[in-house]
Structure 1
Amino acid sequence: MLAPNDISMSDEEVAVLVQKGQKESFGILMDRYERKLFSYGKKFLTGQDNIEDVVQEVFIKTYQNIQSFDASQKFSPWIYRIAHNTFVNALRKNSKSPIRFFDFDTFIAHPVYEDAMPAEKEQKRLRDLIDQGLDKLSADYREIIILYYIQNLTYKEIADILHIPIGTVSVRLLRARNELKKHVPDEQSEPHEPNEFYE
């Protein structure tokens, strides 16, 4: 039986144990993702005070649907997809105006441009840029900034979570960065690559 503090197994292997009936192993997945999902929810669901409840709902849905997880795929995008759907529903439920999660760019083919690795001295500027402007972005732009720069997910993982082409991830991220720059004094500050300031 897997020890509760075992870190030698991958998320996918732990998920398979849960699928096979080792319910206690689900606690390992919760330990690994609780901080990440709380950070994701806190920054995405700005102004809401029920973040912990929403994150718990994510874990409940994850457990209820664990049998549908394909162990040949990565677990991280799968649980983030559940989190995305749950957070969007919570956002819509508590919003006084309609929330749009539709992008015409999904119907247009786009090349994928990978950002260059930033110099170390740019990292503080990156953090400041996100801190100052994130809550001023629309929900769809805010989410892609969170997933890429704060959660450190790849273009492919984000595409899987949001169900959009990888090229659209690139374009939406570029537009989100440009929009972010409008809300900070220093317009030369611009995010380039995921960082580890947020967990």
Structure 2
Amino acid sequence: MRDENEMEELESVVERMQQGDRAAYEVLLDRFQPSVFRLAHRVTGSREDAWDVVQEVFLCVHRRREELREASRFRPWLYRMAYCQAVDVVRLRSGKRVDAWGDGEEAHAAAPEAGPSARAETNALADEMNRALSALPEKFREPLVLATHGKLSYEEIAGTVGCPVGTVRSRISAARQLLKERLSAWLGND
């Protein structure tokens, strides 16, 4: 029941935003800015680029608010814009590292007592994970990133990428399998 009430409340806020209600726009900004930032940061690997993506995405939300036909589709619409904008930033700055798993700070924070050797190994694993994720075909990488970092449901991802839910499930499964194979040396699987 709570989820249903939250969806109804979100739809109401989105509808008000579409009618030009600035307060509703700010509610959406406050509610979704952190998750859009996390998604953008995971894709770009840069806090500065992620903030640029957040600003551009919310400007697009404001400018293109009439294009959203159903208020219930706001989350997938927003995350699709964020993902595409972040990918565009990476393509424009192709020399920059793409770190879809974070910036490595969480690993250091999780194990402050770890020595230099352990930190170096953690950083090397993060680098390898980023390379493996970047090497995935886009049709597998996009749904995986939207599921793990965008926190979208399979149904929302299906609407975002334009394919059936079953295809989303199989692509995410295939992406995980490909990552597992590429990281087998790190995971201890031969």
TM-score, with structure 2 as normaliser: 0.66
Q: Are 2:34 and 1:39 equivalent residues in the alignment?
A: no
1:29-87 per-residue CA deviation (whole Å, 9 max, x = no partner) reads 01111111111111112357421011110000011111122235332111112212212
Written as runs of structure 1 = structure 2, the 5 A alignment for 1:83-162 is: 83-95=82-94, 132=126, 134-136=129-131, 137-138=133-134, 140=138, 141-162=140-161
Higher helix share: 2
Q: How far 1:12 sits from its partner (Å)?
A: 1.6
8 Å contact 1:41–1:55 — kept in the other structure? Answer: yes
Please tell me the root mean square deviation across aligned C-alpha atoms, in Å. 2.7
Aligned length: 149
SS across alignment from 2:72: coil
Written as runs of structure 1 = structure 2, the 5 A alignment for 1:6-45 is: 10-45=9-44
Provide the rounded CA distance (Å) in 2 between the counterparts of 1:187 and 1:163: 36
Counterpart of 1:186 in structure 2 is 187
1:127-173 per-residue CA deviation (whole Å, 9 max, x = no partner) reads x9xx8464121263443322112333222211211223333322221
Counterpart of 2:171 in structure 1 is 172
SS across alignment from 2:187: coil
Percent pairwise identity: 29
Q: Which runs of 4+ in 1 moved over 6 A?
A: none
Counterpart of 1:64 in structure 2 is 63
SS across alignment from 2:82: helix
8 Å contact 1:84–1:161 — kept in the other structure? Answer: no
SS across alignment from 1:50: helix
